[in-house]
Chain A
Amino acid sequence: MDKQSLILDLKERLVQTLNLQDLEPGTLEADTPLFADDGLGLDSVDALELVVMVERDYGITIDGKDEAKTIFASLDALADYIIARK
Chain B
Amino acid sequence: MQKGEGHPQWTGKSHGGYWGHKSFAVLLRLGMFPAYFLLVFVAAFFVIFRKKYTSGGAEYLGRLFGKKAGAVSWKMYRLVFSFGMSIIDRVAFFCGNGKIKCADGCEETIEKLISDGRGLIVLTAHVGGWQIAGSQLYKYGRGVGIIGADNEDEKISELLDGGRVVDTPKVLGDAADTFSMLPAFSLLRRGGIVAMHGDRYAGGRFAETEFLGGKVRAPLAAYVLAAKAGVPVAQISCVRESLFNYRMEVLDVFDFSPVPPSELIGAAEKCAKKFFGNLEKALRESPYQWYNFYNFWE
B180 close to chain A: CB less than 8 A: yes
- Top 5 nearest A-B pairs by Cβ distance? A63-B186, A65-B179, A43-B204, A68-B179, A45-B205
**44-86 of chain A: CB within 8 A of chain B:** 44-45, 47-49, 51-52, 61-66, 68-69, 72
Contacts of A64 in B (CB 8 A): 182-183
A62 touches B182 (CB 8 A): yes
**Binding stretch for chain A, among B61-69, B155-163, B221-229:** B221-229
User: Interface range on chain B: under 10, 10 to 19, 20 to 34, or 35 or more?
Assistant: 20 to 34
B185 close to chain A: CB less than 8 A: yes
B204 touches A45 (CB 8 A): yes
A41 close to chain B: CB less than 8 A: yes
Contacts of B186 in A (CB 8 A): 61, 63
CA distance A41 to B6 in the complex (A): 11
Task: Digitize B193-234: 1 where CB-to-A-CB distance is under 8 Å, 0 elsewhere.
Answer: 000000000011100000000000000110011001000000
Question: Taking CB as reference atom, which chain B residue is nearest A65?
Answer: B179
Of residues A35, A44, A61, A66, which shows the largest number of chain B Cβ atoms within 10 Å of its Cβ? A44
B173 close to chain A: CB less than 8 A: yes
A37 close to chain B: CB less than 8 A: yes
CA distance A72 to B177 in the complex (A): 14
A58 CB to nearest chain B CB (Å) = 16
Given the contacts A43-B204, A43-B205, A48 and B183 also touching, CB distance less than 8 Å: no
